[in-house]
A and B are shown apart, each in its own frame.
Chain A
Amino acid sequence: MEAAVFILSLVDCCALIFLSVYFFIITLTIITLSDLECDYINARSCCSKLNKWVIPEMIAQALATVLMLVSMHWFVFLLNLPVASWDVYRYVKVPMGNMGVYDPTEIHNRGQLKSHMKEAMIKLGFHLLCFFIYLYR
C-alpha cells in the first residue's frame, strides 16, 4: 500500500515536471503565434521555431498518458488520452510536402493562424486543469 502511494506520487511528480515543460511549450506557442499575428516575426522563423517543439510535446503528452495508465488513474488517463491522440494525429496527418505541422507558406491562409491559436489556448486550459488535478490528488 505504501509502495503504491509512493509510486503514485512519484508518477504525479513526473507528470508535473512534464507539465511544466508543456507550459513552456504551450506558452511559447501562444507567444510565437501572437508575435506572428502582430508581424513581429516572419512566418518562416515562427514556423521553424514551433515545429521544433511538436515532437517533444507529443512525446511528453504520450508519456504522461502512459504513466497515468500504469498508475491506474483511469479518470486522468481518459482525460489525457484525447489530447495525446490529437497530437499524434496532427503529426501523422501533415502532408508530405509540408515543412511540419506549422507550414510557413500556409499559415496565413484559410485562417490557419487563428485555428492554431485556438488550439494552443484550449491546450493551455487543459494543462492548467491537469496541473491542479495532479497537485491535489
Chain B
Amino acid sequence: MSTQGNANPNSSVNNYSMSSTQNGGGAAPCQNGPGQMYPAMYTASSYYSSAPPAAYPTVAGHSAPPTGKTPVSSTGYSGNYYQSSSGLSPYPAPGTHQYSNAPGQSFQQTAPYAMPAGYYGQVYSHPSQGQTQPQPQQLQPNLMPASSGSNLGAPLYPIVSYPSAPGSSQYGTLRSSQTTAGQPPVSTVMPPPPTQSSLQQYSQGIGATPTPAQPGYGAPPLSQAATVNGQSNAVQQHYDQNLHNPMSHHYAAGPPNSQGPDKERPPSGTPGTSVHSSPQHHPGLLYGDRGVNNAISSAAGDHSSSSSDHEEEDEEDEEADLAAPPAGVPAKQAPPFGYNYPTMHPAYQQNPAPKPNPSPSHGGYNPPGYQPYSQPFPSLSELSSALGGLGGVSELEAETLRPVNLLQERNILPPKRAPPPEPNLSNDLRKVNCSPDTFRCTLTNIPQTQALLNKARLPLGLLLHPFRDLTQLPVITSNTIVRCRSCRTYINPFVSFLDQRRWKCNLCYRVNDVPDEFMYNPVTRSYGEPHKRPEVQNSTVEFIASSDYMLRPPQPAVYLFLLDVSHNAVESGYLNVFCQSLLDNLEKLPGDTRTHIGFVTFDSTVHFYNLQEGLSQPQMLVVSDIDDVFIPTHDSLLVNLKESKELVKDLLNALPGMFTHTRETQSALGPALQAAYKLMSPTGGRVTVFQTQLPTLGAGLLQSREDPNLRSSTKNVLHLGPATDFYKKLALDCSGQQIGVDLFLLSSQYSDLASLACVSKYSAGSVFYYPSFHHIHNTAQKQKFQKDLQRYLTRKIGFEAVMRIRCTKGLSIHTFHGNFFVRSTDLLSLANVNPDSGFAVQMSIEESLADTSLACFQAALLYTSSKGKRRIRVHTLCLPVVSQLSEVFAGADIQAISCLLANMAIDRSISSSLSDARDALVNAVVDCLTAYRANGSNIQPSGLIAPAALRLFPLYVLALLKQKALRTGTSTRLDERVFSMCELKSQPLQQIMRMVHPDLYRIDNMTEQAALHLNDSVIPQPPLLQLTAEKLTREGAFLLDCGSVMYLWVGKCCNETFIRDVLGFQNYASLPSNMTEIPELQTTYSERTRAFISWLLESRTFLPAFHVVKDDASTKTSFFQHLVEDRTESAFSYYEFLLHIQQQMSK
C-alpha cells in the first residue's frame, strides 16, 4: 500500500482530491450496492487481476451465501445508495424552490409534487422537474441573490445551526479563514475541476444511468441544461474550494507527525496537475491493493471489492465525458442542486421539507382551514421566500399552533392519515434524520427543562421500531467501529467534526479522535473525508460487529416447537394447519446450514421426538414424570434441519394423525416449558408454544379466575396481572440463556393469558391469540392463523440481542414498555428480536438543555443474525430543543403521544386499577388543554380550544378508552382484554394507531379522481371518514381497516353493481354472512377495489383477517364497536366526551 502511495508522490493534494472525484464521482455511491452490480464485479476480476481476489472473500463473508446470490444485506445497500443518489438531487430543489417562490399559493401548487415522495420508484420518473425548477428561480433574482444556486445546495440553517451538518459546507466555513495560504495553488488547479467535479456530481445521478430503470437522467432537456450548467458551475467552484482547500491546508500546514502513519498521504501541497495524466484505474488498483495488504475486512475491503468494478464504468463515463463535453457535461450537470446534500440520504426524507405530506399522494390534502389560514400571513410568506427553507418551517409551526375550537369543528379528521410532524431542523439534518417509522418522539420539539415539560403536561417519550424490515440499509464492515470513548455512542450524522482528526460526541460532548481507518471513505474511495463516511451520512446503519461484541461464538438458529396435543387441541384442529404451514415454509425458515429444529408435544405427559439422522422414522420418547421433568436423550432432540429434513417432514406429516383419538384433557404446559428450557439452554434460540387451554398439571398450573358475570361490569376489573410468578421466573431464566418464547394461544375458554403472557413478555417473545379457534367452524380465524404463521415462520429473526438507548446528556429514560427484560438501567435484553415488535420509553429531563440546541437519541441493537453474523443496527434521531411552551405544543406528535399514553395506562391498570388508568387518560387531555389555555392569550374565551397539532388528542383518547383493553361496561372477555393490552404494549406505532383509531373508507363509489398511479395500476384514494354510524349509508359499502382485521360493511340497499362486480353475488340477499375474502373478478370495479385494499396492505407484515359484514348480520356488533365516535350504552360519544372535558377543565 505504502509503495503504491509513494509511487506517485507528486500526486499530492490534487491527486487525492482527484481520486475522490473520480471514484467518488463515477463509481461511488451507487455501485457499491452489489444488487445489480455483482455481474460487473466478475468482469472486474478479469480486468484487474490483482485487486478483486482479495475482495471476493470479504464480500462472501459479508453476506453468507457465496457469490451467486444477491445477499439481502447488500441489496439493501445498493438500494440505498443508488436511490438516494439518483432520486435525491433533483428533488429537494423543487421543494424549496417552489415554496420560496410563491409560498402564498403554493398550497395549490403542490399538485406537481403529488408524486409519491416516499416511494423511490416514482422519484425517477420526475427528475426532469428538478431541472426545470431552476428557471423560475432565476426569474426572481431579488429574492435569491447571486448565490442562489449555492444557497440551495448549502441550505440555510434556519433556526438551529449546527456545525456538524454533514454537507461539505462545514469545512468551507470553518476553515475559510485559514485556507488563504493554500489557496493560490489550488485555484490554479481549478480549471480542470469543473469537469472533474461535474463528474463528481454526476456520480450522484449516474448511479441511475447504467441501469435501464431510470430513464430520467438519460435524456435531460438540453435547452435548460445550459442555464443549469452555468449555475451549477458556480456551485462547483464554491464547493471545490470548500472541499479542497481545507485539505491542502491540512497537508501543507499540518504537523509533520500526522504524516507519519499514513504514508500514502503525500507530502505537502505541491500542486501537481498530474490529475489527468495518471491512468484512470490507478486508484482502483491502489485501493484494491490496500484491501489485500491490510488483509482486513475493513470497510475498505468490503467496498473496494465492489469499487474496483466501478472503475470501468467510471472510465466509460469519463471517456464519454471527455469525448463530448458539450453534450455530456450538461447531462451530468443535471442534478447540481443536490450536490451539497451528501450522497446518501435515506430516501424517505425526500419530500420537500415545508409540506407535511410524505403520504404517497396528497392531491387532496387540503384540510379544512388550511387554505384560508395561509392568507392572513402574507408577510410571513414573503419572509419565508426570502429565507428559503425557513419560511416553510415557521409557517408549519404556525399552522400546528392554530387554535381549533373542537366543539365547533365537525370534520376534524384529515382526508388522509396525517403524517408525523417534521422536526424543526435545518434541511441538512432533516434529510439525514431517522425515519419516523423507526424512531419517533412524542414531542418533536424537546422542551429545555423539566419545568417547561411539566407546564405542557404532555408525556415525553420515544417510540421505537428498531428491527423493522427495511428496504435499504447501509451495512458497514469495519475493523474499528467508531464510538465515543466515554458514553459509547456510535458515530452518527449529528456529531460535529472539529477538524479532520477529531469529532465531538453529540450525546456527551466529549471530543474523540477519528481513527485512521475512518479517514478512508470506502464509498467514494477517497481519503481524508471522515464526514462522508456512510456512518456519518445515514442515521440508520448496520455494522458487522467484530469479536469484541461477542460473549460466545454467534449461536445458530435454533427453533423448538412446543405443541399442545390434548383433546381440546386436537379438537380445534390447529395441528393440521400448523404442520402444513411449517411443511410449506420449512425451506424458508431463516437460518443457515447450522439451523437446528426440534419438536416437543405435551398433554398430561411430555413427548420428545428423536429425529437423529439415519433413523428410519421419528422416535417418540414419553416423559411422564412431570414433577421433575428431564431430557431423555441429549443429542438428537434438536437436530440439524438440513441433515434430518426428511425425518422432520415425516414427523410433520404424521403428527396431526397421531393424537386423533386422544382422551387426555389435561395440559402440563409448565413442565413442558421447563423441558424446553433445559433442551435449549446450551444454545439459546426460539421456542414457539401452541396452547389451547388452561394449564392444569404440574408446575405453573393455573385456576380459572374469570367470573363471566363481571365481564361487563363498570366497576373494577380484577385479575389483569399474573396469578403466579412461575412464568415470569421461567421467562427470566430463558432470557438469561438467550431463549425467546413465543406464545400462540388458541383457546375458546378462559386460559389466563395474563399469567401465560409473562413467559413471552419477559423473554422478548410475541403473543398471538385466536379466540375460539376452530378449523371448520371459524374459517376467518383459521385463515388469519395461517397467514400469521406464514409471516411468523419466515420473518427475520435476531438472536441473543441487546438494545441500548442513549440520549443527550440531561435526558434520562426512566420507564420502558415492550417485551423484553431490562437487565440494567438502560440495557434491554432481548433473547429474540423480531421485526414486528415495537418499544416505547418514557423520559424525563434531569438537567436543563439550555446550552444545546439539539437533542439526540440513539438506539443500538446488537444481535446475531440467522446466518450467524453479529450485527449492530444503529438508529439516531435528532430533534431541536426549544424554550417556548408554544413551540412545545407545535411539535407535539399526537399519534406518538396517544401510543405512549396507552402504554402508560396499561401499566397503570395492572399496577393500580383500570378505573385509575381511565381517569388518568382523561386527565391527560384535560391537563394538556388547560395548559394550552393558560398559555395562549389570543384565544376566544368560550369553547374547547386545542392547538391544531393536538386537535385529535381528545378523539384518540376517547378511542383508547373504547379499546378492548381499557373499556368498561361492554362485555369483554378477560383474555381478550389482556391480549389487547399485550398488543398495545408490544406493537409498533402504526399498528397501534390502526387498532385504536381504524380507518373508514367508502369504497363503492371510488373514482379515479386524485387516484394514485403506481406502476401502471391505478389506486383510488377515497377520503378517510369519521368513525361514526352517521357516515354510513344503506346505499354504500364501507371498508374499516383496524390493522389486524378488516371489515367490509355492505349496506342493505347497496348498489347491485358493486355486489355483482366486486363481491361476485347477484344481490344483497344472496350474500353469505361469513364471507372472508374478496373474489378476484375480472371487472374494473373489482380490480380497482382490490388494488386499493392491497395498497392498504402493502406495508403490513401480518395480513389482517377479512370479514364481509352484512347490515343485518350478527357480526355487526364487532363492526360497530369500532365506531368510536358514537355513543354506546356505557361510553360517551365524541361530542359528549368533549363536553365532559370542558366541564372538567372549568372545575
B762: contacting residue among A105, A107, A108, CB under 8 A: A105
Q: Contact: A105 with B825, CB < 8 Å? A: no
Q: Are A97 and B755 in contact (CB under 8 A)?
A: yes
Contact B824 A97 (CB under 8 A): no
The one of A43, A99, A109, A110 in contact with B725, judged by C-beta atoms closer than 8 angstroms, is A99
Given contacts A97-B728, A104-B732, are A109 and B815 in contact (CB under 8 A)? yes
Q: Which of the candidate stretches A1-9, A34-42, A63-71, A79-87 sits at the interface with the other chain?
A: A34-42
A39 touches B825 (CB 8 A): yes
Given contacts A99-B729, A109-B815, A109-B816, contact A42 B721 (CB under 8 A): no
B724 within 8 A of A: yes
B386 interface hit (Cβ, 8 Å): no
Tell me the bound Cα distance from A44 to B732 in angstroms: 8
Complex interface: chain A residues within 8 A of B758 (CB): 97
Option from B723, B736, B816, B823 in Cβ contact (under 8 Å) with A97: B723
Q: Report the nearest B residue to A99, measured CB to CB.
A: B725
Given A96-B721, A96-B722, A99-B729, check contact A109 B823 (CB 8 Å): no
Q: CB-defined interface of A101-136 with B at 8 Å, one 1/0 digit per residue?
A: 000110111110100000000000000000000000
Asked if B799 CB lies within 8 Å of chain A CBs, one says no
Contacts of A44 in B (CB 8 A): 732, 736, 823
The A-contacting residues of B in range 707-729, CB under 8 angstroms, are 721-725, 728-729
Residues of A within 8 A of B814 (CB): 109-111
A113 to B824, CA, bound (A): 11
A20 within 8 A of B: no
A44 and B725 CA atoms in complex are apart in Å by 14
Q: How far is the CA of A104 from the CA of B823 in the complex (A)?
A: 8
List residues of chain B with CB within 8 A of the CB of A107.
822
Closest to A98 in B: B725
**Closest residue of B by beta carbon distance from A37:** B825
Please, how many residues of chain B have a CB less than 8 angstroms from a CB on the other chain? 24
CA distance A92 to B723 in the complex (A): 15
How near does chain A come to B16, taking the closest CB pair, in angstroms?
44
Decide: B762 and A97 in contact? CB cutoff 8 A.
no
Contact in complex: A97, B907 (CB < 8 Å): no
Q: Is B821 an interface residue (CB 8 A)?
A: yes
- Shortest distance between the CB of B716 and any CB in chain A (Å): 14
Which residues from 23 to 78 on chain A have a C-beta closer than 8 Å to any C-beta of chain B? Answer: 36-37, 39, 42-44
Please count how many residues in chain A sit with their CB below 8 Å of the partner chain's CB atoms. 19
Q: A95-B721, A105-B732 are in contact. Are A36 and B824 (CB under 8 A)?
A: yes
CA distance A36 to B827 in the complex (A): 12
- Closest chain-B Cβ to A102's Cβ sits at a distance in Å of 12
Pick the residue among B723, B729, B815, B816 that contacts A96 (CB under 8 A).
Answer: B723
Contact A105 B822 (CB under 8 A): yes
* Chain B residues within an 8 Å CB radius of A98: 725, 728
Asked whether, in the complex, the Cβ of A43 is within 8 Å of the Cβ of B823, the reply is yes
The minimal Cβ–Cβ distance linking B909 to chain A, given in whole angstroms, is 12
- Are B815 and A97 within 8 A (Cβ)? no
Question: Are A110 and B732 also in contact (CB < 8 A) when A43-B823, A96-B724, A97-B758 are?
Answer: no
Closest residue to B814 on the A side, CB-wise? A111
Given that A96-B721, A99-B728, A110-B815 are contacting pairs, would A42 and B762 also be in contact in the complex, using a CB cutoff of 8 Å?
no
Question: Count the A-B residue pairs with Cβ separation under 8 angstroms: how many?
Answer: 60
Closest CB of chain B to A109's CB: distance in Å?
Answer: 5
Least CB distance from B488 to A in Å reads 12
Min C-beta distance of B560 to chain A, whole Å:
23
B722 touches A97 (CB 8 A): yes
What distance in Å separates the Cβ of A42 from its nearest Cβ neighbour in chain B? Answer: 5
Please give, as numbers and ranges, the residues of chain A lying within 8 Å of B821 by CB-CB distance: 43, 104-105
| Contacts of B741-756 to chain A: CB distance below 8 A | 754-755
Q: Chain A's nearest CB lies how many Å from the CB of B802? A: 12
Query: Chain A: which residue is nearest B732 at the CB level?
Result: A44
Shortest distance between the CB of A54 and any CB in chain B (Å): 14
The chain A residue with its CB closest to the CB of B813 is A108
| Shortest Cβ distance from residue B829 to the other chain A in the assembled complex, whole angstroms | 8
Interface of B is mostly: mixed
CB-contacts of B582-606 with A (<8 A): none
Task: Find chain B residues with CB under 8 A from A108 CB.
Answer: 815-816, 822, 824-825
Please give, as numbers and ranges, the residues of chain B lying within 8 Å of A99 by CB-CB distance. Answer: 725, 728-729
**Chain A min CB distance to B941 (Å):** 38
Which residues of the other chain, A, contact B729 by a CB distance below 8 angstroms? Answer: 99
Chain B's closest residue to A104 (CB) is B732
Q: Closest residue of chain B to A44, judged by CB?
A: B732
Q: How far is the CA of A109 from the CA of B736 in the complex (A)?
A: 19
**Residues in chain B near residue A36, CB distance under 8 A:** 824-825
Of B729, B816, B825, the most chain A CB neighbours within 10 A belong to B825
Give the chain A neighbours of B755 by CB distance below 8 A.
97
User: What's the minimum C-beta distance from B649 to chain A, rounded to whole angstroms?
Assistant: 39
A97 and B824 alpha carbons, distance in the complex (Å): 21
Interface 1/0 per residue, B642-659 and A, CB below 8 Å: 000000000000000000
Instruction: State which of B722, B723, B754, B824 has its C-beta within 8 Å of the C-beta of A39.
Output: B824
Q: How far is the CB of A41 from chain B (nearest CB, A)?
A: 8
C-alpha gap A36/B911 in the complex (Å): 23
Distance to closest chain B CB from A103 (angstroms):
8
- Contact partners of B725 in chain A: CB under 8 A: 96-99
B721 touches A97 (CB 8 A): yes
Q: For the complex, give the distance between the alpha carbons of A111 and B814 in Å.
A: 6
Query: Nearest-CB distance from B920 to chain A (Å)?
Result: 13
Q: Report the nearest B residue to A111, measured CB to CB.
A: B814
Task: Report B807-829 CB contacts with A as 1/0, cut-off 8 Å.
Answer: 00000001110000111110100
Chain A residues positioned under 8 Å from B911 (CB to CB): 95
Nearest Cβ on chain A to B830's Cβ, whole angstroms? 14
Docked CA distance A110–B817 (Å): 11
Give the CA-CA distance A96 to B823 in the complex, in Å: 22
B824 near A42: Cβ-Cβ < 8 Å: yes
Docked pose: A95 CA to B758 CA in angstroms: 14
Bound-complex Cα distance A133 to B16 (A): 80
CB pair B728 A105 closer than 8 Å: yes
Least CB distance from A99 to B in Å reads 5
Q: Which residues of B contact A42 (CB under 8 A)?
A: 823-824
In the assembly, what is the distance between CA of A111 and CA of B732, in Å? 21
Determine how close the nearest CB of chain B comes to the CB of A6; give it in whole angstroms.
Answer: 47
Complex CA gap A108/B805 in Å reads 14
Shortest CB distance A46–B (Å): 9
Distance between A74 CB and nearest chain B CB, rounded to angstroms: 37
**Residues of chain A with a CB closer than 8 A to B732's CB:** 44, 104-105
- Note all chain A residues with C-beta closer than 8 A to B724: 96-97
A109-B907, A111-B814 known; A43 vs B722 contact (CB < 8 Å): no
Give the distance to chain B from A50, nearest Cβ to Cβ, in Å: 15
Q: Report the Cα distance A102→B842, complex, angstroms.
A: 21
Docked CA distance A104–B729 (Å):
10
* B767 shortest CB reach to chain A, Å: 16
Instruction: List B contacts of A110 (CB < 8 A).
Output: 814-815, 907
CB nearest neighbor in B for A100: B725
A96 to B736, CA, bound (A): 23
State how many angstroms separate the Cβ of B570 from the closest Cβ of chain A.
Answer: 30
- B89 shortest CB reach to chain A, Å: 46
For B816, list chain A residues within 8 Å (CB): 108-109
Complex CA–CA separation, A111 to B911 (angstroms):
14
How distant is the Cα of A7 from the Cα of B568 in the complex, in angstroms?
A: 67
CB-CB under 8 A from A43, the residues of chain B are 821-824
Considering the chains assembled together, what is the distance between the CA atoms of A91 and B911 in angstroms? Answer: 15
What are the 3 A-B residue pairs with the smallest beta carbon separation, nearest first? A97-B722, A108-B822, A39-B824
New A-B contacts (4) at CB < 8 Å, excluding given A97-B722, A97-B758, A109-B907: A97-B723, A99-B725, A110-B814, A110-B815
16 A-B residue pairs with CB within 8 Å = A36-B824, A39-B825, A42-B823, A43-B821, A43-B822, A44-B736, A95-B911, A96-B723, A97-B728, A98-B725, A98-B728, A107-B822, A108-B816, A109-B815, A110-B907, A111-B815
Please give the residue numbers on chain B whose beta carbons come within 8 Å of chain A beta carbons, in ascending order: 721-725, 728-729, 732, 736, 754-755, 758, 762, 814-816, 821-825, 827, 907, 911
Q: A residues engaging B (CB < 8 A)? A: 36-37, 39, 42-44, 95-99, 104-105, 107-111, 113
